[in-house]
C-alpha cells in the first residue's frame, strides 16, 4: 500500500488523490446477496418460414426462384399400335435375318454379347484396351488375365493381342479366342 501511495503522489502530485486511493484499497468488497432466487429466462426461438408466397429471399432478393411456376400439363399420347404381321412382312424379316453376321448371332446365342470394347489407347510401346462387361469396365494390356464380373457370375478373361481397331481375348469356357472390335456407335 505504501508503494501505491508513493506512486500516486509522484504521478499526480496531489495529496488528496493519494488519500482516496488508500481508502479504496482498505475498503471491504461489497457483499453479494446469496439468498436471491434466480428467475428463469426464456429466449424466443427463431422461426423460419419456407412459404414461397411470404416475403423474399434475404440473400438473393431479386431472384425469381421463389416465384410460383405455372403447371405444365403434357398431353397424353396414345401408345403406337403395331401393324398386323402379313406374309410379305414375315418374308422381309426372314431375308433380314439371313443377312446377319454369323459371328454376332453366335456371340448373342452363347451369352458373350455383354463383352464390348469401349476404348483403345497407345502409350509409347504399350497398348491398352478397355473391356466393358454389363457390370464394370476393365483395362487390359497384352498378356493380362483377370477375373471379371459379368451379369451371370464371374469369368476369367485373358488378353492375347491388341490390334489397331480390335483386341483378341480368351474367355473362360470358350474353346477359341474371340476378337472384339471397337464400335463407332457407342
SS3 category, 51 = coil
Give the closest residue to 67 by CA, choosing from 75, 79, 57: 57
DSSP 86-97: -HHHHHHHHHHH
- Asked if pLDDT for residue 144 goes beyond 50, the answer is yes
Q: What pLDDT is recorded for position 124?
A: 80
pLDDT tens profile 162-180: 988 889 999 888 889 988 8
Q: What is the pLDDT of residue 112?
A: 56
Q: What is the pLDDT of residues 25-54, one digit of tens each?
A: 666 666 666 677 778 888 888 877 777 667
The residue that leads in pLDDT, 73 or 48, is 73
Per-residue pLDDT, 110 = 47
- Residue 117: how many other CB atoms lie within 10 Å: 21
**pTM (2 d.p.):** 0.41
Closest CA to 142 of 182, 169, 173: 169
- At 65 the pLDDT is 75
107 has a pLDDT exceeding 50: no
* Domains, the chain, with CATH or none: 111-181 (2.30.30)
What is the Cα–Cα distance from 173 to 153, expressed in whole angstroms?
13
Amino acid at each position: 500500500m505504501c508503494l501505491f501511495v508513493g506512486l500516486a503522489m509522484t504521478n499526480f502530485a496531489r495529496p488528496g488523490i493519494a488519500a482516496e486511493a488508500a481508502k479504496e484499497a482498505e475498503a471491504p468488497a461489497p457483499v453479494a446477496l446469496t439468498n436471491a432466487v434466480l428467475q428463469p429466462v426464456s429466449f424466443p426461438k427463431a422461426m423460419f418460414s419456407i412459404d414461397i408466397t411470404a416475403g423474399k429471399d434475404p440473400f438473393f432478393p431479386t431472384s425469381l426462384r421463389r416465384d410460383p411456376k405455372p403447371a405444365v400439363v403434357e398431353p397424353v399420347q396414345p401408345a403406337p399400335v403395331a401393324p398386323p404381321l402379313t406374309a410379305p412382312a414375315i418374308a422381309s424379316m426372314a431375308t433380314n435375318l439371313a443377312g446377319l453376321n454369323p459371328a454376332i448371332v453366335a456371340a448373342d446365342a452363347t451369352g458373350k454379347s455383354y463383352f464390348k470394347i469401349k476404348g483403345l489407347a497407345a502409350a509409347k510401346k504399350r497398348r491398352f484396351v478397355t473391356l466393358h462387361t454389363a457390370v464394370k469396365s476393365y483395362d487390359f494390356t497384352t498378356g493380362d488375365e483377370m477375373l471379371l464380373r459379368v451379369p451371370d457370375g464371374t469369368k476369367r478373361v485373358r488378353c492375347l493381342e491388341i490390334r489397331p481397331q480390335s483386341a483378341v481375348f480368351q474367355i473362360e469356357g470358350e474353346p477359341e479366342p474371340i476378337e472384339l472390335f471397337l464400335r463407332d456407335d457407342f
